[in-house]
């Protein structure tokens, strides 16, 4: 039940604010939290805590934060021989503001994440073989993402693309994607239409499906998630929780989804498992600190 994650690793600085700042506005915050993040590393940790054997492929700087991140991933039980060191770029950094409702704004300085090349990925080729699920995002260069998806398909893996952060992507990349997992904003950008409701999410997903993906799964926050594949549209409601911080909720969802699929669960069951993981993540502050264990996810699924 191996999952291979290709993606970013960052040092995160999170601050609580009374409200998210408007353009040009300075807002005084409190409670600085320094933690490990990056969509790729977060999703790797989420998949590992959900029960999967995980290999992480990414890039870090030759610095203290990079060494600390590599050590922490190894402590989680994640294979890190594909977590390469770049001598010319620092480890990536993210700055996160979180309001009282748990909503956030994030700014990322990619650093070494932007230096993960196609050649780097090809050098890690043996790590891609033997996995059941390939999971990647858009915090590393697009040619590298494309190569990861191509290699995953060639190895017979289920390929998942979380198109985050939101960015314009050439439609031809979707032909190598088995499951596209955008949130509302990402789906709206990729489909070039608004997504503010379940019905609008279905319309956007239909357009994305036409680009060549086998299935599209739009995460909708408190509205749950919508699955669209040929001949089927299904809405999955969210688990009601008291949100504290939405940071990494999408990463928890994607990592848990990959782990459940690698375990052999049907897609519908894997989505419910992922929804529970995403909900639990919102109940705690931070990125990787907030990612739930498999037991916690199963307990929420079993609750009345």
DSSP-based three-state secondary structure for 78: coil
Q: How far apart are CA 120 and CA 181, in angstroms?
A: 25
Q: Where are the alpha helices (DSSP H) in 102-241?
A: 118-123, 125-128, 142-154, 184-191, 198-209
> 22: buried, middle or exposed (CB in 10 Å: 19+, 13-18, 0-12)?
exposed
pLDDT band (50, 70, 90) for residue 1: low
CATH of domain 2-7+38-90+113-302: 3.40.1190.20
Query: Greatest CA separation found in the chain?
Result: 53
Q: How far apart are CA 150 and CA 154, in angstroms?
A: 6
What's the pLDDT tens digit per position in 94-108? 899 999 988 889 898
What's the pLDDT tens digit per position in 257-275? 999 999 999 999 999 999 9
- H/E run at residue 132: none
The answer to whether 119 is a known catalytic residue is no
Q: How far apart are CA 36 and CA 83, in angstroms?
A: 15
Tell me how far apart the terminal alpha carbons of the chain are, to the nearest angstrom.
Answer: 29
Sequence spans of domains, the chain: 2-7+38-90+113-302
3-state secondary structure 41-70: HHHHHHHHHCCCEEEEEEEEECCHHHHHHH
Q: What percent of the chain has pLDDT over 90?
A: 84
What's the pLDDT tens digit per position in 195-225? 999 999 999 999 999 999 999 999 999 899 9
What's the pLDDT tens digit per position in 165-186? 988 888 889 999 999 999 999 9
> What's the mean per-residue pLDDT of the chain?
95
Residue 24 has pLDDT above 80, yes or no: yes
Q: Which of 12, 81, 251, 295 is catalytic?
A: 251
């Amino acid at each position: 039940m191996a999952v291979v994650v290709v993606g970013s690793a960052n040092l995160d600085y999170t601050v609580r604010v009374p409200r998210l700042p408007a353009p040009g506005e300075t807002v005084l915050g409190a409670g600085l939290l320094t933690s490990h993040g990056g969509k790729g590393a977060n999703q790797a940790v989420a998949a590992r805590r959900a029960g999967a054997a995980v290999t992480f492929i990414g890039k870090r700087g030759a610095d203290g934060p990079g060494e600390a991140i590599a050590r922490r991933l190894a402590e989680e039980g994640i294979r890190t021989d594909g977590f390469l060191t770049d001598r010319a770029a620092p480890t990536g950094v993210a700055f996160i503001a979180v309001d009282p409702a748990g909503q956030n704004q994030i700014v990322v300085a990619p650093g070494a994440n932007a230096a993960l090349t196609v050649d780097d990925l090809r050098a890690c080729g043996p790590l891609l073989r033997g996995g059941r699920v390939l999971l990647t995002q858009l915090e590393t260069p697009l040619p590298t993402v494309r190569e990861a998806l191509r290699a995953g398909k060639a190895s017979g893996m289920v390929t998942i693309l979380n198109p985050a952060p939101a960015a314009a992507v050439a439609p031809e990349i979707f032909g190598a994607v088995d499951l596209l997992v955008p949130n509302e904003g990402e789906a709206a950008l990729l489909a070039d239409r608004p997504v503010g409701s379940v019905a609008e999410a279905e319309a956007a997903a239909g357009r994305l499906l036409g680009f060549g993906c086998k299935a599209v799964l739009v995460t909708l926050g408190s509205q749950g998630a919508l699955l669209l594949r040929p001949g089927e549209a299904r809405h999955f409601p969210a688990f009601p929780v008291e949100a504290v911080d939405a940071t990494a909720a999408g990463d928890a969802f994607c990592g848990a989804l990959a782990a459940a699929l690698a375990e052999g669960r049907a897609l519908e069951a894997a989505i419910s498992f992922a929804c529970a993981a995403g909900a639990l993540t919102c109940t705690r502050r931070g990125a990787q600190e907030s990612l739930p264990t498999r037991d916690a996810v199963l307990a929420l699924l079993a609750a009345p």
